[in-house]
């Protein structure tokens, strides 16, 4: 059981990193410094961006549950 949860946890971790890196910058940070700034009007207005937000939240929730599951399984 621990191995299955651990494999799921690693997969969700990598997915979460990938999804966070796909988000566009909100301005003023490192993304603007390297030419990633699109302007405030284009940020977060598309359906793709909203779906990316939803996928990121789902991956975060799954990551939280697998973290708790691993903590409870390893404690036994």
Q: What is the tens place of the pLDDT at every residue in 20-64?
A: 988 877 654 444 555 555 555 555 568 888 899 999 999 999 999
Q: At what angle do helices 47-75 and 2-22 cross, to 10 degrees?
A: 150
Name the one residue in this structure whose structure tokens are 């890196």.
Answer: 21
Q: Where are the domains of the chain?
A: 1-23+47-76
Task: Give the three-class secondary structure for 54.
Answer: helix
Q: What is the per-residue pLDDT across 44-56, written as a single tens digit (0 to 9) for each?
A: 568 888 899 999 9
Confirm whether pTM is higher than 0.75.
no
Name the one residue in this structure whose structure tokens are 């999804």.
Answer: 19
């Amino acid at each position: 059981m621990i191995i299955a949860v651990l494999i799921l946890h690693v997969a969700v971790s990598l997915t979460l990193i990938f999804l966070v890196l796909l988000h566009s910058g909100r301005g003023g940070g490192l993304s603007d410094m390297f030419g990633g700034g699109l302007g405030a009007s284009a940020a977060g207005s598309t359906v793709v961006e909203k779906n990316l937000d939803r996928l990121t939240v789902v991956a975060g929730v799954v990551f939280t549950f697998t973290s708790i599951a691993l903590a409870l399984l390893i404690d036994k």
